[in-house]
Amino acid sequence: MKVVLDTNGILSAALVGGLSGRILDAWRNGALVLTVSAEIMQEYERAGAALERRYPGVCVAPFLRLVERLAQVVTPAAPFASVCRDPNDGKFLACAEAGGAAVIVSGDKDLLAVGEYAGVCVLTPRAFVEAHLS
């Protein structure tokens, strides 16, 4: 199964583990294909750099380089800015469509409000783990 993991999910998985960590473990074990775009990778890197500045000793850059190297990287035609309440979240829908991902895993209320679009479901980490990894 192909999935897109939002920025909070990827950084939470890297730093804390938890439910998002279980999703990344499934990816690492070959049960999932993590799908990203260049725009999503840039957002991961910006947010990761902000965390590194705020919390000395935190280093997510090597993890993000691994994600970029091992994930399925796609080039979406265009973001779905008008579908989401937050136009910046359209990149996740566009990535999912371009990569054939069935699910976007997110805790973002604006993305979750979409629910389902063009065959892509938006689920919380808990809902995804319960439905697909339990």
Beta strands in the chain (DSSP E): 2-5, 33-37, 72-74, 103-105, 116-117, 120-123
CATH of domain 2-133: 3.40.50.1010
43: left (phi > 0), else alpha (psi -120 to 50), else beta?
alpha
- pTM here is 0.94
Average pLDDT, the chain: 94
Does the structure show a pLDDT above 70 at 107?
yes
Helix-, strand-, coil-residue percentages of the chain, each rounded to 5: 55, 15, 30
pLDDT at 24: 93
Q: Is a pLDDT exceeding 90 seen at residue 84?
A: no
Q: Is the pLDDT reported for residue 129 higher than 90? A: yes
The one-character DSSP state at 133 is I
Question: Is residue 69 predicted with pLDDT exceeding 80?
Answer: yes
Residue spans per domain, the chain:
2-133
Q: How confident is the model at residue 79 (pLDDT cuts 50, 70, 90)?
A: low
* pLDDT confidence bin for 81, thresholds 50/70/90: low
